[in-house]
Structure 1
Amino acid sequence: MNHVSPEKAGISSEQVLKFVQSLENRNLSTHNVILARGEDVFFEHYWPPFDKSFGHRMYSVSKSIVSIAVGFCEQDGLLCLDDKISKYFPEEAKRATDENLKNQTVRHMLMMATAKPAQNWFAAAPDDRVRFYFENDGVQSRPSGTIYNYDSSGSFILAALAERLTGKPFMEYLREKLFDKIGVSKEAFCLKCPGGHSWGDSGVICTPRDLLKIARFLLNGGTWNGEQILNERYVTEATAKQIDNNPWGLNDFDTQGYGFQFWRTWRNSFFFNGMGCQFAVCVPDLDLILVYNGDNQGKNLAKNVIFEAFFTHIADSMQGGPLAENAASQEQLDAYCAGLTLAAAKGSKHSDFEREVNGVTFAVRDNPMGITKFKLEFDGNGGGQFGFTNAQGDKAIAFRMCENAFGAFPQEGYADEVGTVKTKGHFYRCAASAAWIEPKKLFLKVQIIDEYFGNLGITIGFDGSGKAGLYCAKSAEDFLNEYEGFAEAEKII
């Protein structure tokens, strides 16, 4: 793809600047933004430490990629969308006690219209996630195809279906059918689930540019360089509204209908949608694509902010043809973006109270986190560390004031290549920053930036007489569980 100015693509640099500022003004944790029209990229920016080569966890964007694999399986004559899923998993289906589950079709699963609410596989940690899906003995059930209900585990089964039919990981199958033709990076892959299956509902890792190419392929109706690679019928059905997903009668960005693992949104558009705000938004009537990656887990309004800003400042402001070049506006956009880095804690870098607690150890009463003591240390040069002791022993998180320090999060043994499987000696990379949000209250912001994303807020409030309150709040899929709750602490004399 070519890189051009916003004006050449039919939008002013000023509108692009307003879009980016809308994200920054709401303190979103943005990792990258790409805006493209046709074959031209008119804006691309990465918030350091992220860059164009970073393999980004795409979370539920993975489901849309699985849908493409299912489309190729149908095209290759390996399945029929109206076949029952039990046809392809006969042994596992014997464990199913619910006839609705046995009778649900591939089409119904693509539409998120499955028979039963999924079981929590993170909590159960089964040794085979496919078998676990069919062993669902929950009492709630309905005829498949009748009701939309987001079923992530159903998407996982679709990935397992593609692998069973092709005899290879679905990403390898897509490599042969599509990825090499459109230039998806060789490093793109998918994490695994117990049982040896790809984590198809959440585990795809690829670059933002890879996602842009996949989105462009679909917006082109399944073609690339004039070649019809995937039949247009499947692409059209997959990205069209197949079922209503609006039980509340709202007009939100994500209530415009659902296709085959694709969401519908405003302006007759469709999008890939992943947890934490992993997006590829395709606007056919403008030939326009937004790729956004970040980690805004726990920020309930973040997706609304991104979509409203995109449609207001970009989609609704696009013109039919090129605009006159505006060097001053382009320079202003470039200058603003040059100063952007990964979001950090906001507040004051210093407090007069800092010297009262610097190097002081606090004993912590019994608490959900199992933290027995902690100590804050400030180095006088804008850095410091939060030391603490929990069930694993002595830990420390290095931070900088109002900017990020990068290192390893000290909790050992979270999952690595296989979801839910604890891995001894494994640590996640993280970014940590701190700020005084009140004269006697410090906030520590920790962002996990690895093949798994998550964020943790640690707030410590001091009463000035030797006592403190500690609060930990996390947002992550299946880790940081040791860091949730309140605690009371007192200075050790």
Structure 2
Amino acid sequence: MAIRFACCYFLLLWTYNAPLTAQSRAYFPRSAPEAQGVVTDSILSFIDRVEAEFDVVHSIMVVRHGYSVAEGWWAPYEREAPHIMHSLSKSFTSTAIGFAVQEGLLSLDDLVVSFFPDKKIGEPDRYWNQMRIRDLLTMNTGHAEERWPDANTEDWAQLFLGSDLDFLPGTHFKYNSMATYMLSAILQRATGEKLVDYLDKRLFQPLRIPKPDWKTCPDGVNTGGWGLQIRTEDIARLGQFYLQKGEWEGRQLLAREWVEQATSKQVSNGSDPESDWAQGYGFQFWQCRHGAYRGDGACGQFCIVMPEQDAIIAITSGTPDMHRLLQVVWEVLLPAMRAEPLFPQPEKEAKLRERLSNLKLPLVQEVSTAEARITDGVFQMKPNNASLESVGFHLQEETPHIIFERTAGTDTLWLGQKTYRKGEVIHALPYTENLEPEVAANGGWASPNIYEARVYLFHSPARITYTFQFEGGRLVMKSHLHQALLGRRDLQVLEGRRR
């Protein structure tokens, strides 16, 4: 029996790796879950739970003992497509500061104001003259509220430095994304390089992460606390890098001592034993329950590191309920990890691979197109604050599409039928302003006189739902932005008449 178990174990491990040509591009070798002590049924249960409770999970990757035991992308999201990280960007910024400290370019006790002699500081100055890099890293700047730049703010560093402090730095935890921006600004002043360029040689290239896009402020400084775009596997690579205490492929890239500091509790952020947002905060890493820690970003971008299980879980999503998504991880995936390899389950493993390869976000629930009561045509819109002049429907063509004519120009939204079709919005549909141009859309008749289009911003957690209600020659159009950062809000109802 022991010989049979060993043969099955290694055969299953090898069989999963062998036929996958895409693996040549991946860092993590693939393995059957049971070979790494993970229960396949539990991964299937996790997929069931997130699909039943959320309609916004975009990807999942589970790494155990350095092997990928499960990875999947809900269409239209894809393996190679970068995804906006929101505040998960902060953990990469912290990593850059770690490298700079290691190279003697910075110290945790350096005064923040010492890097900005050209800026005016706020009140009281005795507080400002005590704020250190350490305080930026731990969100202990002394602010009671964070101040965000708006579209008219040209000097972000001055906005931060000119604000008033309510507490002595180092004494009051307040999550503050602009503190992370200041880390990026300090790094650029200390090194002469943008954050993304500095990290490229030290982290991205060694970890084989393609140099990513990272948004910048008007002064050309990477935003630091947000704005990074990377792939799901890149999230997992960062997690594995930290799990290995800064070591990668036999080289100690980042000092072990820094990794331990960054990922341990540096400050208290609450005392609720049931909350993963009250277990303590490190250097831009959150402490979790169950001996884990994480980097996370709004809408459910997660890099969960589980040292006791030697595991990484990477997730991208668009949920406003990050706590509940993390709770599903603890309830389903955590108990699935056992200390020793398990007996192979090839039939269940094959079912899991089939499931993972066919993930898809919900489509429009369509009635029979034979019931639809509209013929194609163009509707002239009444004056509106969306600058939308007309909407043209071409839904009966072989490739359905809708043409939006705005003051800025014209966009065509291509619509998949029973699938998502990718395209671009150059002049921006309503609600896509300042977001990524690539979209993926699905459309269908939700009722005989209501056509619905679901549009995913392909590199973003955001989704837009357009509903078009036809009443004779009249059109009523509504736009709903589903974005956890902004909540769900409705564009005012727009009306039009058939030309």
TM-score (norm 1): 0.84
- Cα distance in 1 between the residues matched to 2:492 and 2:77: 33
Partner residue of 1:446?
455
Q: 1:103 to 1:459 in 2, by over 3 A?
A: farther
Does residue 141 (structure 1) correspond to residue 159 (structure 2)? The answer is no
Partner residue of 1:417?
none
- Match of 2:274, SS state, is coil
Contact 2:436–2:457 (Cα < 8 Å) also in 1:
no
Q: 1:413 to 1:196 in 2, by over 3 A?
A: farther
Partner residue of 2:401?
385
Q: Match for 2:148 among 120, 145, 153? A: 120
Contact 1:413–1:427 (Cα < 8 Å) also in 2:
no
Provide Cα deviations, 1:123-158, integer angstroms capped at 9, x if missing partner: 234334333332336xx7332223222211110110
Across the aligned residues of Structure 1 and Structure 2, the Cα RMSD in angstroms comes to: 3.2
- Match of 1:292, SS state, is strand
- Match of 1:103, SS state, is coil
- Cα distance in 2 between the residues matched to 1:392 and 1:84: 46
How far apart are residue 253 of structure 1 and its match?
A: 3.2
Partner residue of 2:480?
473
Q: 1:492 to 1:59 in 2, by over 3 A?
A: same
Q: Match for 1:238 among 252, 262, 286? A: 262
AA of the residue aligned to 2:345: N
Contact 1:349–1:401 (Cα < 8 Å) also in 2:
no
Q: Match for 1:368 among 365, 368, 385? A: 385
Q: 1:57 to 1:83 in 2, by over 3 A?
A: same
Give aligned-pair identity as a percent: 22
Partner residue of 2:467?
459
Matches within 5 A, 1:208-357: 208-225=232-249, 227-246=251-270, 249=272, 251-294=274-317, 296=318, 299-301=319-321, 303-341=322-360, 343-351=361-369, 354=372, 356-357=373-374
- Cα distance in 1 between the residues matched to 2:54 and 2:375: 28
- Match of 1:320, SS state, is coil
- Cα distance in 1 between the residues matched to 2:445 and 2:270: 42
Residue segments in structure 1 that go unaligned for 5+ positions in a row: 415-419
Q: Match for 1:167 among 181, 192, 196? A: 192
- Match of 1:79, SS state, is coil
How far apart are residue 261 of structure 1 and its match?
A: 0.5
AA of the residue aligned to 1:491: R
Contact 1:130–1:195 (Cα < 8 Å) also in 2:
no
AA of the residue aligned to 2:348: S
- Cα distance in 1 between the residues matched to 2:458 and 2:438: 6
Partner residue of 2:182?
157
TM-score (norm 2): 0.84
AA of the residue aligned to 1:470: M
AA of the residue aligned to 2:437: Y
Q: Match for 1:431 among 440, 453, 457? A: 440
